[in-house]
Structure 1
Amino acid sequence: MATIDFPDDLIALERSAWEEIQAGALTLDTARAVHEAVAAFAQQAGIPRYDVEMGLKRIVRHPAAEAAA
């Protein structure tokens, strides 16, 4: 998969959602905000939404693996 240059605000939004998930406190508002931001970025960048979502999760949830790649 090609490397996607994610904007900092999208990474921060996904990081907030991941922290809420880990705490067992993900809200509908946060989930919706991430989904909408991912969809908008994917459309603007011309990248499939699934690829954007998976790449973003990989960066936030597995930063050590991403740094080694």
Structure 2
Amino acid sequence: MAIEFPDELIKLERAAWNEIQEGRLTVKTAFAVHEGLVAFTKESGESRFDVEMGLKRIVRHPEAA
């Protein structure tokens, strides 16, 4: 079963990935992603690992998703 991520969480991860690629990831952005992941895992009951890996896969490798 695929995890259905909220658009806001995908948007946050995309912002973080863009900042990482540009060499300018901020604590504010990283913390926002972290908080979004924690909230989503609590709501969904999914494991943090599965959520984080799935989210990164969608953002960093959209052709495989």
Q: Shared fold by TM > 0.5? A: yes
Cα distance in 2 for residues equivalent to 1:53 and 1:42 = 9
TM-score (norm 2): 0.96
Q: Deviations over 1:27-63 (max 9, x none)?
A: 0010011011001101110001111000000000000
Higher helix proportion (structure 1 or 2): 1
Match of 1:61 in 2: 60
Which consecutive residues of structure 2, in runs of 5 or more, have no partner in the other structure? none
Q: Distance in 1 between matches of 2:8 and 2:31?
A: 15
Provide TM-score, normalisation by structure 1: 0.91
Q: Which runs of 5+ in 1 are unaligned?
A: none
Compute the RMSD of aligned alpha carbons.
Answer: 0.6
The answer to whether the aligner puts 1:19 opposite 2:22 as a matched pair is: no
The runs of 4+ residues in structure 1 deviating greater than 4 Å are none
What percent of counterpart residues are identical? 63
Which digits, 9 at most, give the CA deviation of each residue in 1:15-34, with x for residues without a partner? 00000000000000100110
Corresponding residue pairs, total:
65
- Hey, what does 1:30 align to over in structure 2? 29
